[in-house]
Amino acid sequence: MTGDDDDARLVAFIDGRLDESARGAVEARLAGDADLRERLARLRDGGRPFAPAFQSLLDEAPVERLNAFLAALDGGEHESASFRALSAFRANRFAAAAAIILFCAGIAVGRFGPSWSTASPEIAAPASGQHEDWRQAVAEYMSLYTPDTFAAKTASQPDELSALGAKIGLALTPERIALTSLQFRGAQIFSYDGAPLGQLGYIDPATGPVLFCIIRDSEPDAAMKAEKRGGFTVSSWARAGHGYMLIGRLPVDQMAELANSLERRF
Amino acid sequence: MKAIGPQEVKAGLAANLARLWRYGLVLSGARDVADDLVQATCVRAIERADQFQPGTQLDRWLFSILRSIWLNELRSRRVREGGGFVDASEALVVDGGHQIETNIFAAQVLREVGGLPEAQREAVLLVYVEGLSYREAAEVLAAPIGTIMSRLAAARLTLGKMGAASEPDQARRPDDGGWR
């Protein structure tokens, strides 16, 4: 038996996982082998009250948030939808949440529903209905954000912005995306129906997360407009093939002010 | 035995979210990655409900799925991205922070385990914390039983060098009755 084999067997001995005969054999060897007894002592020294120590990590788990995510899954009725969700997950967990809500939850508002606040069937889908849809997706996964969402996120890497800018075809710099009174917390790239969708995350000390999203798409130019979507304040516009959206829980006038300052830069 | 469906898997997931998250944290050393891992595990387990073998334990199956996602998708991505990877010993202690401040000894155990290599960390978690048999841990890790035991031995030797525990050793569990 090699030393490694001895160690493995001694661990099983310590853990009480040997059957009677194997245990007897180890005990017999221990009786006549001082080196093996020394080895056993060293292995025993590495014992710890592992289970109680790790109990605290269970308490740290964000069970409520994970439960909300799980509840949004549809139980497997739309398998391809779940694949979409998983693909999105590979890019980012919030994209996954968005995809799951979009594709698994049955899109209760209707794929081209103009918005939650005007969900009357008489209202025709806007000409840019498909583009409205990405804003709806953002609004839906925005509901999963909490003030703690960015808590674990450390300061954004400088490269993060330029990399995101390259994907969506815009030069992004810290100055260009800075928002008064909001802390920038990072950039992420998503994909919506094949179009790159960039997301810049901010924290407002009073109302929590604010997202500035940019999609590179052939969206026709559109003037700034403000609306409420799912309890969020949204300001959006489109220019030169890019769609823009600022969403958060800020009051409408504050949101509009921030959006206007961004529009001047984009 | 009757096969279980997505709804049963979903219920099983709901009952095991915290344990899955803890496994994700032990593997990745990062809370946000642990979140990702659990969410992806939820998606995939529901998709693959028909692959669950009735009569086996659902939590073990979920552990396997989470681990597979970690190995095949997330870990490689984190490595490619480079940087930004929290040292697991810090993640397990500093991030595990406020709940355990009152128990310095527990914090020390987490820090020590967090400093072990990934393969040893997960062996310790599955066997000594989750209480899996060697055989069950081997199935989750898709490794021979001997490998599990070797990893536990290596973990113990490293921890042993840090000093003997000042509290009693793990409870002995004569649950296996052999080399399983």
Q: Look up the CATH number of the domain holding residue B1.
A: 1.10.1740.10
Contact B179 A18 (CB under 8 A): yes
Domain count along chain B:
2
Tell me how far apart the 2 most distant CA atoms of chain B are, in Å: 50
Q: What is the CATH number of the domain that holds B126?
A: 1.10.10.10
- Note the pLDDT tens digit of each residue in A199-209: 898 888 888 88
For residues B65 and B20, membership in a common domain is answered with: yes
Residue A235: what pLDDT?
A: 93
For residues B7 and B63, membership in a common domain is answered with: yes
The residue among A255, A199, A204, A213 whose CA lies nearest residue A232 is A255
Q: Which domain range does residue A11 map to? A: 3-47
Does A76 lie at the interface with B, CB-CB under 8 angstroms?
yes
Residue A93: what pLDDT?
A: 45
Mean pLDDT, residues B11-26: 95
More confidently predicted of A188 and A64? A64
| B41 vs A82: CA distance, rounded Å | 11
Tell me the residue type at A260: N
Q: Which two tokens stand for residue B47?
A: 């998709």
- Note the pLDDT tens digit of each residue in B45-101: 999 998 888 878 899 999 999 999 998 877 666 555 544 444 555 555 534 444 434
Residue B51, in any domain of the structure = yes
Mean pLDDT for chain A?
Answer: 75
What residues are paired with A196 via a beta bridge? Answer: A191
CB A45 within 8 A of CB B166: no
Residue A13, in any domain of the structure = yes
Mean pLDDT, residues A53-73: 89
Residue B60: what pLDDT?
A: 94
Mean pLDDT, residues A103-131: 33
ipTM above 0.95, yes or no: no
Mean pLDDT, residues B160-164: 82
Q: Which domain range does residue B129 map to? A: 87-170
For residues B53 and B110, membership in a common domain is answered with: no
What residues are paired with A201 via a beta bridge? Answer: A186, A211
Contact B17 A153 (CB under 8 A): no
Does A8 lie at the interface with B, CB-CB under 8 angstroms?
yes
More confidently predicted of B19 and B179? B19
Residue A73: what pLDDT?
A: 83
Nearest to B38 among A20, A43, A66 (CB): A66
pLDDT of A188 > 70? The answer is: yes
For residues B70 and B101, membership in a common domain is answered with: no
Coil, strand, or helix at residue A236? strand
More confidently predicted of B135 and B170? B135
| CA–CA distances in Å: residue B1 to residues A111, B9, B53, B54, B75 | 41, 16, 9, 6, 36
Domain count along chain A:
2
Residue B32, in any domain of the structure = yes
More confidently predicted of A246 and A159? A246
For the residues of B90-149, what is the DSSP string, one character each?
A: HHHHTTTHHHHTT-HHHHHHHHHHHTS-HHHHHHHIIIIIS---HHHHHHHHTS-HHHHH
How would you label B53-62 residue by residue, b for 16+ Cβ within 10 Å and e otherwise?
Answer: eeeeebbebb
pLDDT of A98 > 50? The answer is: no
Nearest to A8 among B10, B42, B150 (CB): B150
- Count of A–B CB contacts within 8 Å? 218
Does A222 lie at the interface with B, CB-CB under 8 angstroms?
no
Residue B155: what pLDDT?
A: 97
Alpha carbon A43 to chain centroid, angstroms: 41
- Note the pLDDT tens digit of each residue in A128-169: 445 567 887 788 777 777 777 766 555 556 677 888 888 888
Nearest to B177 among A9, A19, A96 (CB): A19
| A136 vs A103: CA distance, rounded Å | 12
Residue A94, in any domain of the structure = no
Q: What is the CATH number of the domain that holds A180?
A: 3.30.200.100
Contact residues for B177 (Cβ-Cβ < 8 A; gap 6+): A17, A19, A20
Highest mean pLDDT (candidates A50-59, A77-86, A112-121, A148-157): A50-59
Residue B141, in any domain of the structure = yes
| B158 vs B148: CA distance, rounded Å | 15
Least confident of A72-76, A116-120, A210-214, A231-235: A116-120
- Note the pLDDT tens digit of each residue in A193-231: 777 888 898 888 888 889 999 998 767 888 898 888 877
